[in-house]
Structure 1
């Protein structure tokens, strides 16, 4: 079975636990099968009036001992088998998490965060149930079912054949329901993904919802999504709701047959009262395997649907990966060459051109400024250097080596990258600062804080560096978030520094101070700055202006101011605004 290939390695890894767990389960089944024999002996002795109170006590102790063994070994198999299923779930979850982290940014345009979260919760739970309780139910169905039928046949073959008349109907209905259940489970689990994404997006955008007074609208939207999910579940319930009542009905048909025919055989002395009672006990034991057929079908179909959904995610191979013979240079100096670089974003229908034939060169220690109107491709360009995206045509080299040939981990370690939208984790200030370099010492930590002009801000918090900033830094202002992300970038000691709009959310005085900090790195690090505040470009060796994905202007700050183009006009406007402010 193809779907088993995903969980096969984890089954093999947990094989000892599963083997011992099944062995314990078989012991439980053996004792369960032994109890009706004890009942037979007791009833026959009672019927014959050939037993003493001591004999009855003996039979009672036998049953008590069997019950004690059943309890002990049932505890054992639950720990072993359910524990193994939890480990299997853990292994698949970790594999899925690692795989998703390797995916490029474009991958998350196909799979939403809510969809991935649904896979990591609901789908993995279904796989755990199928590999745990499903295995137990399947074992009981085979072992307890066939053993019960054997002992029933041992008592009376004809009565057994009559009692098993409903069995073909169970097999027939199971086959019919299997295909229906699989399709319905796929629909339900896809609906759960949609609902998860709807909830995640609304909670992420709660400030916007409140600002625009859209609480009632979003509540109605959620209700519609929830109703859709419930509707899909109700469609599933039409099938799952039939399984267990049908199994109980067919089981009771067997019981009715046994009472009618077996009771007459007791009257005619064909079988003894003890055999009759034991037969009914074995039929009772057979009831669980008969019901388990429906339960196993239910869980296996749900588990297979979940496996296929997870396999769909794992089938996406990482587009950005190491080459077979990745280069691992001892040191990266920071020489950057971009040659005829073009890049297109892909959507479902077409490719959208973003950059076209971009070229520039930086010596180690030089600074490049990138300016341009919104949507001109600035952020995309700097995202290509650490291979967050990969360009389709043209090339980027660092120290003469193509970035696709350099070991990916080494490449990203050589670049300190501050994205346009700084993301902070819900930990402490210290946790966020040292994220890129967990081994950084206190001296370097303090220096990076000073470089980002964050010293006074941190000192104002009672807990200082241990201040918890909340999800996405909710307790910080926009400027504080940006400076914290900037300090994190400075702390990572890399030869190449990329800053995407590093001073957009700070006041003019702080922006000038940060600009001086960046200037102090000249000659020590290769720096690429994207900014709408052109004052940070004054000391850059090179500036390029992007417009509609191409380089429309290039030169030094003074040259571009005198050229009379977009850069000069935008800079003049900024100077005027500063004077007025």
Structure 2
């Protein structure tokens, strides 16, 4: 079973803790079974009026010592079994997070953040409860339940048979409901995932909601999601609500039978008064195991549903190198050959693109929005793999290059400059965790950030908030650019690096990039064509195809899309200069 294969390494790792916890649990059950025997002896002695004060003191002492032992061993099993469940929860959560980190980008295109968060929170709680209290309930059901029945039969077999008459109905009822419970728990967890994603999305977009005066609409949307979650939970409540009252009712039916039949046997002297009281005590001990049948079933079904959801993610193949020999070159120079590649999402985004870029050369990629520029850049570090064709770096198929080596050799600034909620320095060090102060300052200077950082009271220690909310768009873009500069990689990919900065800052950044030519292989995507003036090759994409290519001057002379766009940008720049 896949469920067992997931749990097996954690069970083996903690086997001694589990064994000690189960032993403590068994000792608790043993002392609980021992107390009714003491009560039986005491009541029989009292009934015969042959008890002494010392005998009563001993009986009381035995019960007190048993209660103390129950307390000590109950602490032990809770610490060992519940602690093990916590450790296993931690291990499975770590395994899940580790696996998610290695999944291909396409997985995140189709899976919501809320669903992943639900796996890491709600599902983990369900698994922990099934592994902790589920084991306890199952053990008590088997050990305490069977032992209680044994002692009841030892006192009087006929009474035991009468007491157990309602029990088969509990087993039958539980079996009928178990499949419905499983489906209900699965629906609750899926509904919880949807609620988590809706909540996350609305909090992340709170500024847009306010700006467009959409508070009431979004509250209504959240209300619908919340009602759907409550509705799925209420279905589960109804099913659970059927189990526990039935167990209690049938247990009370057993008690009524025992009072009638057992009382008669006491009157007829078939059993002693002490036996009758002990029998009822064992009946009370049997209540928990009988109730635990339904409770454990619920918990295990819920845990199983959560484990299945976790396994569904763990079964998603990790991103990996192509079949065949994997190479780990000691050095990459940056010679890039893109050989007739095509790529599709729902429709074709890249269509038979080919080009060659020698080490130290600069490639510019232009084109209208949606032409495939960003997708093409994402294929080089293998964020996606082409459907057809091959990309070579230094003559090696990038599908055969170790992923760590490949991505270590590429410094990538994405179109959306994502920043984490920590400090500016923390975000910069994603480029190079070991960078010294001088290297960080150089990267800041190259991105035109030196004066900006100096203007913050806490400098690099400034906390920028979720997704850099405390910064302007231009500041976020330049921090992302500095992060890319800080990484010392032979290939530099910049996706729209100057789109959100003023013309003066853009000119400074362009000069820095031009100065890096010859030292790194650089690929630049931009809608500002001034950045392509010194590029060795400029390609224009439209609908995923190369429609123009050449140098900046050659494309202007070609009088196509590039030339028309360049003329418009020059006219706009002239107007700005005249107004200033």
Question: Normalising to structure 2: TM-score of the pair?
Answer: 0.98
Map 1:168-207 to 2 at 5 A.
168-207=168-207
> 1:491: which partner in 2?
486
Q: Aligned partners of 2:82 and 2:143: how far apart in 1?
A: 19
SS where residue 553 of structure 1 aligns?
strand
For the pair 1:247 / 2:286, whether they are aligned, the reply is: no
SS where residue 563 of structure 2 aligns?
helix
Contact 1:126 1:299 in 2 (8 A): yes
> 1:421: which partner in 2?
416
> 2:29: which partner in 1?
29
Return the offset for 1:579. Answer: 1.0
- Deviation per CA, 1:490-524, whole angstroms, max 9, x where unpaired? 00100000000001111100000000111111111
> 1:388: which partner in 2?
383
For the pair 1:529 / 2:498, whether they are aligned, the reply is: no
> 1:355: which partner in 2?
350
Shift of the 448–2 alpha-carbon distance from structure 1 to 2, 3 Å rule, reads closer
- What's the Cα RMSD here? 1.1
Gap regions ≥5 residues in structure 1 = 347-351
Q: Aligned partners of 1:233 and 1:328: how far apart in 2?
A: 52
> 1:295: which partner in 2?
295
For the pair 1:431 / 2:436, whether they are aligned, the reply is: no
SS where residue 296 of structure 2 aligns?
helix
Q: Aligned partners of 2:386 and 2:198: how far apart in 1?
A: 32
Map 1:43-192 to 2 at 5 A.
43-192=43-192
Q: Aligned partners of 1:99 and 1:416: how far apart in 2?
A: 24
> 1:349: which partner in 2?
none
> 2:544: which partner in 1?
549
Return the offset for 1:362. Answer: 1.1
SS where residue 422 of structure 1 aligns?
coil
Return the offset for 1:6. Answer: 2.2
> 2:459: which partner in 1?
464
Return the offset for 1:60. Answer: 1.2
For the pair 1:40 / 2:61, whether they are aligned, the reply is: no
SS where residue 12 of structure 1 aligns?
helix
Return the offset for 1:52. Answer: 2.3
Q: Aligned partners of 2:2 and 2:268: how far apart in 1?
A: 55
Shift of the 86–322 alpha-carbon distance from structure 1 to 2, 3 Å rule, reads farther
- Deviation per CA, 1:173-223, whole angstroms, max 9, x where unpaired? 111111111111111111111111111111121111111111000101111
Shift of the 319–432 alpha-carbon distance from structure 1 to 2, 3 Å rule, reads closer
Return the offset for 1:167. Answer: 1.1
> 1:508: which partner in 2?
503
SS where residue 257 of structure 1 aligns?
helix
Contact 2:2 2:311 in 1 (8 A): no
Q: How many residue pairs end up in the alignment?
A: 576
SS where residue 354 of structure 2 aligns?
strand
Contact 2:421 2:464 in 1 (8 A): yes
> 1:450: which partner in 2?
445
Q: Aligned partners of 2:72 and 2:500: how far apart in 1?
A: 65
Contact 1:322 1:408 in 2 (8 A): no
- Deviation per CA, 1:220-258, whole angstroms, max 9, x where unpaired? 111111111111111111110011111111111111111
Runs of 4+ in 1 over 4 A off after TM superposition: none
Question: Normalising to structure 1: TM-score of the pair?
Answer: 0.98
- Deviation per CA, 1:365-421, whole angstroms, max 9, x where unpaired? 111000011000000000000000000111111011010010011000000000000
Q: Aligned partners of 1:414 and 1:340: how far apart in 2?
A: 23
Q: Aligned partners of 1:245 and 1:496: how far apart in 2?
A: 68
Contact 2:321 2:401 in 1 (8 A): no
Return the offset for 1:318. Answer: 2.6
Return the offset for 1:3. Answer: 3.0
Return the offset for 1:73. Answer: 0.7
- Deviation per CA, 1:458-488, whole angstroms, max 9, x where unpaired? 1111111111111111111110100001001
Contact 2:341 2:390 in 1 (8 A): yes
- Deviation per CA, 1:56-79, whole angstroms, max 9, x where unpaired? 222111111111111111111111
Shift of the 222–63 alpha-carbon distance from structure 1 to 2, 3 Å rule, reads same
Return the offset for 1:323. Answer: 4.3
For the pair 1:401 / 2:396, whether they are aligned, the reply is: yes
> 2:570: which partner in 1?
575
Return the offset for 1:563. Answer: 1.5
Return the offset for 1:94. Answer: 1.4
Equivalent residue for 2:374, pick from 370, 379, 387:
379
Q: Aligned partners of 1:200 and 1:323: how far apart in 2?
A: 39
Q: Aligned partners of 2:364 and 2:207: how far apart in 1?
A: 34
Q: Which moved more, 1:405-414 or 1:174-183?
A: 174-183
Return the offset for 1:19. Answer: 0.9
Contact 1:195 1:229 in 2 (8 A): yes
Q: Aligned partners of 1:558 and 1:483: how far apart in 2?
A: 28
SS where residue 412 of structure 2 aligns?
strand
Q: Aligned partners of 1:343 and 1:183: how far apart in 2?
A: 39
Q: Which moved more, 1:371-380 or 1:44-53?
A: 44-53
SS where residue 111 of structure 2 aligns?
coil
Q: Aligned partners of 2:7 and 2:150: how far apart in 1?
A: 34
Equivalent residue for 1:476, pick from 448, 456, 471:
471
Q: Aligned partners of 1:105 and 1:389: how far apart in 2?
A: 7
SS where residue 107 of structure 1 aligns?
helix
Q: Aligned partners of 1:138 and 1:159: how far apart in 2?
A: 26
Return the offset for 1:5. Answer: 2.7
Q: Aligned partners of 2:467 and 2:136: how far apart in 1?
A: 44
Q: Which moved more, 1:380-389 or 1:224-233?
A: 224-233
SS where residue 341 of structure 1 aligns?
strand
Contact 1:322 1:407 in 2 (8 A): no
SS where residue 349 of structure 2 aligns?
strand
